Amino acid sequence: MVVVWHLTGAGQELRRQQVVWPGNAYWGAGGDGVPACHASCVAWLVSEARVIASADVANTSRERRKGLRGRRELDGAFVIPKCRWVHTCGMRIPIDVAFVDEAGVVLKIVRMRTWRLGAPVPKAKWLIEASTGAFERWGLSIGDVVELREAGE
């Protein structure tokens, strides 16, 4: 059992939650370094053996197309597997984006305002989107190794 503290809601209220860790990380079955878990899964973003955020994973084409459009706030992270670039067209909030390679190393972090088109990062295999300033709060920076673990049932 692991105890996780994270900020929630517009008021950024600190909330305590207990989770059960799975026995292994959920990575692509083909060994391609891309996180994979069940459709519409909720997962934990982990770095250096600590949970840094809860994450929604966009596994279906519909979830990937919708992304964060229409949301007024973002709690935790939004992970897009098999992705090398992102845009913020139609989004209501600016975001931070971390591009991650197949080994889980954060290659690049960018801050994007709404209605912007980002440049592709060729070596990226997946990416993490979060509200502006979240990476600083979480202590996530370029060169950090992150992994995605499916949340306990």
pTM of the model as a whole: 0.71
Three-class SS of the chain: CEEEEEEECCCCEEEEEEECCCCCCCECCCCCCCECCCCCCEEEEEECCEEEEEEEECCCHHHHHHCCCCCCCCCCEEEEECCCCCECCCCCCCEEEEEECCCCEEEEEEEECCCCECCCCCCCCEEEEEECCHHHHHCCCCCCEEEEEECCC
Residue-level pLDDT at 23? 35
- 45-59, pLDDT tens digit by residue? 999 889 999 888 888
Domains of the chain: 24-150 (2.60.120.1140)
Work out the percent of the chain whose per-residue pLDDT is above 90: 42
- 60-111, pLDDT tens digit by residue? 888 887 777 767 777 888 899 999 999 888 888 899 999 999 999 999 999 9
